[in-house]
Amino acid sequence: MIGIISAMQEEIQALLNELKNVTTTEKGMRTYYSGKLFNKKVVLVFSRWGKVASAATTTQLINDFNVEEIIFTGVAGAINKDLNIGDVVIGKNLFQHDLNASPFYKKFEIPILKKEFLETKNSQKIINSTNLFIDSYNKYIKDSEAAVFNITAPKIVFGDIASGDQFISSIKKIKKLNKALPTAICVEMEGAAVAQICYEYNIPFSIIRIISDKANDNATIDFSRFANTIASNYALGILKNYFA
Ligand code: ADE
C-alpha cells in the first residue's frame, strides 16, 4: 500500500477521479480514500495545510493503513529565479524554515533528532517517472490550460525545499529565505513535516512539488488559479509513470 498525500482537495481531485474500488475511512477530520490507482493499491488523503496537519495525517497513514511508502504531491512557490510556474521540483533535502530553537539548538535543527534537514532516499524512481511525464505532458495538460500560465517547456529539478507554516508572498521574504537557506529553491507548507515523520518511522518518502507561483506579490492569485486547475493533472501524469 502506498500513501499519497496532498494538502488540498483540489490537488488530489484528478487522482480521486481515477481511483477504482474506493472505500473511505473517516479519522481525525480527514477522509482516507483506499482503492486502486493505475492498478496499485493506494490510500489517498488531503491533509489540509501546514506542518501539524500533514504530520498528523502522515502518522495516521503509517499506523492505521500500513503504508510502505509515502508520496506527497502538491504545489510550491519558487524562490529561485530559474524556476517557472509549471516546473516540477522533486525534494532532495527538506528544511523547516520556521524552526529555530536557538540557543538550545542551531537554527533549523530539529530538537532531539539533531538534524537540520531530512534527505529523501528513494527519489530516483520518482525523478525517472517525472522525466517520462514531461515527455507525455500534453496528454495530461491541455494547451489552453498551460497557456494561462505561460508554460512552454516545464523542467524537472531535484532540489532542496523549505517548508514552514507561512504562505510566502513577498520579495522581502524570499530574500530572507535565500540568505538563510541558500540551497532551497521552493517553499511550501508540509514537505519537511512529512519527511520528519517518515524518517522517524523509517518509511521511504518522496516530495513532488509543482511550481504554482513565484512567492511574490502575485503569488496568491497564481497559486489559487494553478491549484484549482492543472495541479492535480500533473500529479496524475507523474504517478501514472511511477506506477507503470
Ligand atoms: N505553496 C504554493 N505556493 C506557496 C507559497 N508561495 N508559500 C508557501 N506555500 C506555497
| Predicted confidence (pLDDT) per residue in 134-178, tens digit | 999 999 999 998 999 999 899 999 999 999 999 999 999 999 999
| 39 CA → ligand 1 middle, Å | 32
- State which ligand 1 atom lies nearest to the alpha carbon of 168: 7
- State which ligand 1 atom lies nearest to the alpha carbon of 214: 6
d(CA 36, CA 166): 34
| 176 CA → ligand 1 middle, Å | 15
pLDDT tens-digit readout, 37-49: 999 999 999 999 9
Residue to mutate (ligand 1; options 168, 174, 186, 214; most atoms within 8 A of CB): 168
Residue to mutate (ligand 1; options 54, 75, 149; most atoms within 8 A of CB): 75
Residue nearest to atom 4 of ligand 1 (CA): 77
Please give all residues whose beta carbon lies within 6 A of any atom in ligand 1, as ranges.
75-77, 167-169, 187-189, 212-213, 215, 219, 223
Residue 218 makes CB contacts below 8 A (sequence gap 6+) with none
For each of the domains in the chain, give its residue range(s) and CATH number, in order of start: 73-243 (3.40.50.1580)
Instruction: Establish whether 87 is a catalytic residue.
Output: no
Contact 185, 160 (CB under 8 A): yes
How many beta carbons lie within 10 A of that of residue 63, not counting itself?
A: 10
- Nearest 5°: the CA angle 25, 31, 32 is 60
| Model confidence, pTM | 0.96
What's the chain's average pLDDT? 96
pLDDT tens-digit readout, 47-64: 999 999 999 999 999 999
Alpha-carbon torsion 111, 115, 120, 122, what sign? negative
Cα radius of gyration (the chain): 17
pLDDT-based confidence at 71, cuts 50/70/90?
Answer: very high
Residue nearest to atom 2 of ligand 1 (CA): 76
Instruction: Establish whether 145 is a catalytic residue.
Output: no
ipTM here:
0.99
- State which ligand 1 atom lies nearest to the alpha carbon of 219: 6
The pLDDT assigned to 122 comes to: 73
| 54 CA → ligand 1 middle, Å | 15
Q: Which one from 10, 188, 213, 222 is the annotated catalytic residue?
A: 213
